Structure 1
Amino acid sequence: MSCPICSKESEPKYRPFCSRRCADVDLGRWLNGSYAVTADAPEDLEEAAEALAQETQRPH
């Protein structure tokens, strides 16, 4: 398996990365928002709040 940051061979200690540096680069990308996980939730906060309120008001 190759490192997703630099494409070198991954090191078992840092898998899937080759080094601590590449692992830190990846973490930094997550923390600054370079990566994003897509969601099917409404983008508008008011719309999301209304949907949540409607779900909690439904009888179980």
Structure 2
Amino acid sequence: MRPVKMVRDENGTEVITDYSVRYDDEYVRQNGTWLIKERIAHFIIIEARPLQG
């Protein structure tokens, strides 16, 4: 799993949301480089709070 932080505006207040994300990726090799052909992301919300600072 990978941590992801997203900031969004909610009625004039910036809110930060922490997620844990699991990716199911399908890869393809193109010109000697591995690329993501298809990605399915599974998001789990951990916490949302007003951004301070």
Q: Which has the higher contact order (CA 8 A, sep 6+)?
A: 2
Q: Quick check: which has more Rg, 1 or 2?
A: 1
Give TM-score scaled by structure 1 length. Answer: 0.17
Higher strand share: 2
